[in-house]
A and B are shown apart, each in its own frame.
Chain A
Amino acid sequence: AQTVTQSQPEMSVQEAETVTLSCTYDTSENNYYLFWYKQPPSRQMILVIRQEAYKQQNATENRFSVNFQKAAKSFSLKISDSQLGDTAMYFCAFIQGAQKLVFGQGTRLTINP
């Protein structure tokens, strides 16, 4: 069974700093997708970034980028120039084929002014 592990329950940084959230996953498959979702206090689940496993190039969305290490089964999220609005729970998630989306337990990120 696929599993997703986020080893950092909480993180806190100052505004404008760069922060990296860690995620590892376990699968025996070769083709799959990885995602980072953000859940602000409103509780809405918002897609931040996605990565296709067959692509070697790391995905980037404005201030958000990932470091995808397929052999190591690692998928970290880097937030550059962090803003107060980035304060949220961040969930790493994995999906393969027609299977369900599996989530990690989340990292609570606080951006301090």
Chain B
Amino acid sequence: DSGVTQTPKHLITATGQRVTLRCSPRSGDLSVYWYQQSLDQGLQFLIHYYNGEERAKGNILERFSAQQFPDLHSELNLSSLELGDSALYFCASSHRTEGRAGELFFGEGSRLTVL
């Protein structure tokens, strides 16, 4: 158990809909990352938050948005869903201070299926 909690674990929805994925980081971790993994692909970085502030953006579509709340949990919002958005979405957290790198702890992922 990594200590990172993601909900829901599985989600099936239709094209055009909107979903919200939730992530609770490990206790004390200030950084939250979101990654997308399409079938048999590597992990693509979406966005990074540190202590409530957006720190870096990757290949995140304009239809997607995220935020990190004062209690440090994060939500990834996916709207106007398309078939190609079907993927495993990972959240990872890290107890990183500025200028120090360390390992990321991953949640079990949220599997999104768009029909």
User: A-side interface residues toward B, CB under 8 Å?
Assistant: 32-33, 35, 37, 42-45, 47, 50, 91, 95-106
Could you tell me the distance between the alpha carbons of A105 and B42 in the complex, rounded to whole angstroms?
5
Chain B interfacial positions (CB closer than 8 Å to A)? 33, 37, 41-43, 45, 48, 50, 55-56, 58, 88, 90, 92, 96, 98-106, 108-109, 111
CA distance in complex: A52, B102 (Å)? 9
Q: Are B45 and A45 in contact (CB under 8 A)?
A: no
Tell me which residues across on chain B come within 8 A of A35, comparing CB atoms: 103
Q: Which residues of A have CB within 8 Å of B100?
A: 97-98
Q: Which residues in B have their C-beta under 8 angstroms from that of A42?
A: 108
Q: Count A/B pairs, Cβ under 8 Å.
A: 58
Q: With a CB–CB cut-off of 8 A, which chain A residues contact B104?
A: 95, 101
15 contacts between A and B (CB under 8 A): A33-B103, A42-B108, A43-B37, A45-B43, A45-B90, A45-B109, A97-B100, A98-B99, A99-B56, A99-B101, A100-B45, A100-B58, A104-B42, A105-B41, A106-B41
**Which of chain B's residues have a CB closer than 8 A to the CB of A101?**
33, 45, 92, 104
A98 contacts which chain B residues (CB < 8 A)? 50, 55, 96, 98-101
Cβ–Cβ < 8 Å partners of B111 in chain A: 43
Chain A residues with CB under 8 Å of B33's CB are 100-101
Residues of A within 8 A of B106 (CB): 37, 44-45
Q: Max chain B CB contacts within 10 Å: which of A97, A98, A104?
A: A98
Q: Do B101 and A97 touch across chains, with their CB atoms under 8 A apart? A: yes
A91 near B42 (CB under 8 angstroms)?
yes
Q: Which residues of B contact A103 (CB under 8 A)?
A: 42-43
Q: Say how far A17's CB is from chain B's closest CB, in angstroms.
A: 25
Q: How far is the CB of B99 from chain A (nearest CB, A)?
A: 6
Chain A residue at smallest Cβ distance from B31: A98
